[in-house]
Structure 1
């Protein structure tokens, strides 16, 4: 008996701001500056949701004006590996840097042949290997055929990344 194919789960937060910013981005009359703002705002929301119940935390204590209080922090010893797919992924990568306390960034760039629709890599700054415990956030708001994302995910997994530890924000 064959195992069922692994599928990527897709989650679209049912939030009015997600719908609003997506509508702004899809509008052909949206000026470039507003499009970028909409992409950034949408990216912040999506990264926040993608990180829910995914980031490792450590317990600690802090001194408050009233005394010692327990606190929980994102583990600074386990940075999230952020992989923006150039160029559109940079907008979301900037948002990841403002939301996530500790990140490491690895850029990848692909160009798509308009005739064959095949993507060819022109820049790959991925590390030689990932550990199966690495949390990897891939950012790419552009979607045509999905081929570029497939290639990037395959390359990450080939380098040791675990499919279960990858989140994609698009």
Structure 2
């Protein structure tokens, strides 16, 4: 069976609302952070709907014994936020996955070559191949950073079929790269935008998510 990259553009009104808020260039940093947290929450909710491992059991209510479904804590779950912009989504997704381990990856982009450079890697040397991996990355633009992230994860034994990405906006260029290299992935996003400008930024996009989140640039 041939695998094909699955990209889900979620139509929830709250996702649309918060996307509009974070796109607006006049949104102040404090509200931008709130918007990113909410997008992290709702995109994670959609991403884990049929993804979390479960087990069946029973519980005793005050009146009778009844069948019950539980999250299977024996299957590891990990969140891998890509620094620094991925931290903007983490506050929204972490409460939905309270048992998840969090492994940080930090990448900086060379503005001339547009290639990513890894400056922080907190991944363990080996991961259980059953691990469910959630990657919060606000923007999938050229695809360089997310491809480098996937390369680090697969070297440590993860299965791309168990990996899901949440992104606020995506460019077709990044999706094409991922489709060619990791067709088993699933991506949950608020929007697929038109493309990239000459500097590799998504258009219309939302500016620099890291700068706008942390108030360190013009956005």
TM-score of the two chains, using structure 1 as the length reference: 0.90
Q: Name 1:148's counterpart in structure 2.
A: 145
Q: Residue 137 in 1 paired to residue 134 in 2? A: yes
State the SS of the aligned residue for 1:11: strand
| Structure 1 segment 17-166 matched on structure 2, within 5 A | 17-166=14-163
Identify unmatched segments of 5+ residues in structure 2.
168-219
- Is there any run of 5+ residues in structure 1 with no aligned partner, and where? none
**1:15 and 1:168 mapped to 2: Cα distance?**
18
Write the distance in 2 (CA, Å) between the matches of 1:105 and 1:12: 25
Confirm or deny: 8 A CA contact 1:50 1:167 kept in the other structure. yes
Instruction: Check the 8 A contact 2:37/2:90 in 1, yes or no.
Output: no
Structure 1 residue 22 displacement after superposition: 0.6
Q: TM-score, normalised by structure 2?
A: 0.71
CA contact (8 A) 1:76 1:101 kept: no
Aligned positions, number: 167
1:119–1:147 contact (8 Å) kept in structure 2: yes
Q: Describe the superposition over 1:73-121 as per-residue Cα deviations: whole angstroms up to 9, x where unpaired.
A: 1111223111000111113222222012410111000011111111100
Over the aligned positions, Cα root-mean-square deviation in angstroms equals 1.8
User: How much does 1:7 deviate?
Assistant: 4.9
Label 1:155 to 1:15 Cα distance change in 2 as closer, same or farther (>3 A).
same
Identify which range, 64-73 or 22-31, moves more after superposition.
64-73
1:15 aligned residue: 12
CA drift at 1:67:
3.1
The whole-number CA distance in structure 1 between the counterparts of 2:60 and 2:37 is 34
